[in-house]
Amino acid sequence: PHLILAGRKDNEYSNLIQFAETNELMDYVYFTGAVNDITGLLSITDIFVFGAKSEGSPNAIIEACLMELPVVATNLPEICDVLSDANIPYLFEKNDIEKAADNIVDLIDHKDLRIEIGKKNKEKCKLVYDKEKNFNMIIDLVENS
* pLDDT single digits (tens) 2-27: 899 888 788 788 889 999 999 999 99
Q: What is the rounded CA–CA span in Å between residue 84 and residue 117?
A: 7
Percent of the chain at pLDDT exceeding 70:
97
pLDDT by residue (tens digit) across 21-53?
A: 999 999 999 999 889 999 999 999 999 999 888
Q: What is the DSSP letter of 6?
A: E
> Would the pLDDT of 134 be above 70?
no
Count of CA atoms in the C-beta half-sphere (13 A) of 8: 3
Report which of residues 117 and 134 the model is more confident about: 117
Give the predicted TM-score (pTM) of the model.
0.84
pLDDT of amino acid 135: 66
Q: Cα 17–20–22 angle (5° rounding)?
A: 105
